[in-house]
Structure 1
Amino acid sequence: MATRSVPSPNGAHQELVRALEELHRAAGHPGMRKVSALIAEGDHPAVVSHEGVRTALKGLNVPRWETVQSIVAVLATACVDPPRDPTAEVARFLPLWRAVREGEPGGMKSARELALSQGWGTDDGHWTAEAVVGVMINPFNAIEIAPSLAVPHEPLVSEDEWVQLGTGLIEEYGAEFALRAILRNLKGDYLGAEEGSPFGYEFPDQEAVEAHTAFRYGCDRLLQRLATEPNLLQRSIVAMHADETMDREDRIEMLRAESDASLMREVMVASPETWHELSEEAQHQVFGYLIKTIGPVGRFGLPPEQRFHIVWRIAEPPPA
């Protein structure tokens, strides 16, 4: 069904009609047949009869978006004093039409539209739904932002990557945790702040942080293999002892650990089920048996599987 009959415009529909009337007036009150003809002549998403133009402008029905889009583009093109950008006018009318069709939530831009749009409000100074959210979400209105965060700097990750990381944080730990973590950072309590590192980008213990992240990722991967590959640990121990390319200091450390009978009893029962019961020393020993090397290959912000490359002592079996 192309349209939905409405007895008389009210609420959100009335706002849409008023905006259409204002645009029609700014375009010089072109006739309905003239508007219909201009739509037909141009590259527009809908063909609108003169009766369709009339009913839309008079608020006699709620037209399809393609109809509103076509009418608005033609009327905006006709405005000369002052001129109006058809693309900007179409963007202005979209939330008005959505509010009619979808209710109050429909008046809000999508996340992608917000990212692509400029500013928060309209030139006429009216408050938009996005403007209200912008004031409420702006940390400046709740805290004093640390001065070190308020100067020009080179971003560590892109905006899209930052949003993806934040979305994952919210999904895993909840919105309250994420928002309070953001406020804590903005107040100056960020990694590297105590050591005076601007923005936390040059955290003095960055190598330790990288090593810990790589270790946790490697543990996750080796547990996946231990769960599906029989005797993997025993075969990896044999491979380690036979590895003539192994660093001398690493070999000495592994052999010294093997002299601890209590530690080795822990190591030999390592499995996904017992992993969290093992001491940290036992976990490191198992890690050394299964993984020859693990190193960063991608920059910060990428998923672990894209950041770290693992060289196994026993190669992974080919996928089934």
Structure 2
Amino acid sequence: MPADPPGDQASNSALQRLGQAIRDLHAAAGRPSLRMVSQRVKEGGHPGTASHTTVGAILKGTKPVSWEALAAVVTELMRTRELQAAPTEDEDPKAGETARLQAEMQACSRVRTLWLEVECHKDDGASESTKAARSFAWELHRLIVEPLGGDLARISRAIRALRVNEATPSGCGAPRRLCTTCSYTTRTS
């Protein structure tokens, strides 16, 4: 049997890791039925939908699915897991909701990283330039976005704040104009 091309091996490996991550979430949620997860996705008001067949494919990790469907399944598995956890009497409801939302966001971020890797390495007959763009996007995500927490909105706000508070390299304190001391032009917007 011929060996898989390197792109196929990377894609299969990433897909297997993605499937394992979803199976771990499914187990932590008490292994709800595929139909129950599908129904919860349908009732959850998610932008993506997932039939019980799609939920099964996601858990098997055998074929890529849309991010919207995957995010909906991950969110509902996390919510099912949280429903099983008995809240303590002295738990602050706001703190519990905040912790739940943070856990959902972290789970979605971890799964999204795996999903992006699958997307980057899939061999769908795309042109070489498309494959190069996917590879570049994956490297940016892996080297920059992921280490910064994966929250693109937070990273974007931090970059905008840096631009607004930008100072000259020499620290002469001449923001938003040409500094005659060090000849550094700062943004005017």
Global fold match (TM > 0.5)? yes
Residue in structure 1 matched with residue 187 of structure 2 by the alignment: 302
The alpha-carbon distance between structure 1 residues 92 and 107, as it changes in their structure 2 partners (threshold 3 A), is: farther
Q: How does 1:179-194 map to 2 (within 5 A)?
A: 191=170
Partner letter of residue 47 of structure 1? T
- Larger relative contact order (C-alpha < 8 A, sep ≥ 6)? 2
TM-score normalised over the length of structure 2: 0.57
Runs of 4+ in structure 1 off by over 6 angstroms are none
Partner letter of residue 301 of structure 1? T
The alpha-carbon distance between structure 1 residues 213 and 30, as it changes in their structure 2 partners (threshold 3 A), is: same
TM-score normalised over the length of structure 1: 0.36
Residue in structure 2 matched with residue 87 of structure 1 by the alignment: 105
- CA deviation profile, 1:12-61 (whole Å, cap 9, x unmatched): 11110110010101111000000000001011111211111011111231
- What residue ranges of structure 1 are gaps of 5+ in the alignment? 1-5, 120-156, 166-189, 192-199, 215-299, 307-320
The alpha-carbon distance between structure 1 residues 118 and 101, as it changes in their structure 2 partners (threshold 3 A), is: closer
Q: Please say if 1:34 is aligned against 2:36.
A: yes
Partner Cα distance (1:92, 1:160) in 2:
29
Q: How does 1:1-320 map to 2 (within 5 A)?
A: 10-80=12-82, 81=85, 85-103=103-121, 106=138, 108-109=140-141, 113=145, 117=149, 158-161=161-164, 191=170, 200-201=171-172, 209-210=179-180, 301-303=186-188
Report which of the two has the higher share of strand.
1
- What residue ranges of structure 2 are gaps of 5+ in the alignment? 1-7, 87-98, 122-134, 152-159
> Percent same amino acid among aligned pairs?
25
TM-aligned CA deviation for residue 107 of structure 1? 6.3
- CA deviation profile, 1:188-245 (whole Å, cap 9, x unmatched): xx74xxxxxxxx3469xxxx9538959xxxxxxxxxxxxxxxxxxxxxxxxxxxxxxx
How many residue pairs were aligned?
138
TM-aligned CA deviation for residue 112 of structure 1? 9.1
Say which SS state the counterpart of residue 62 (structure 1) adopts: coil
Partner Cα distance (1:20, 1:75) in 2:
9
Contact 1:98 1:107 in 2 (8 A): no
Partner Cα distance (1:158, 1:55) in 2:
42
Report which of the two has the higher share of helix.
2
Partner Cα distance (2:61, 2:145) in 1:
27
- CA deviation profile, 1:84-114 (whole Å, cap 9, x unmatched): 5222211221110010011365265289956
Partner Cα distance (2:20, 2:46) in 1:
23
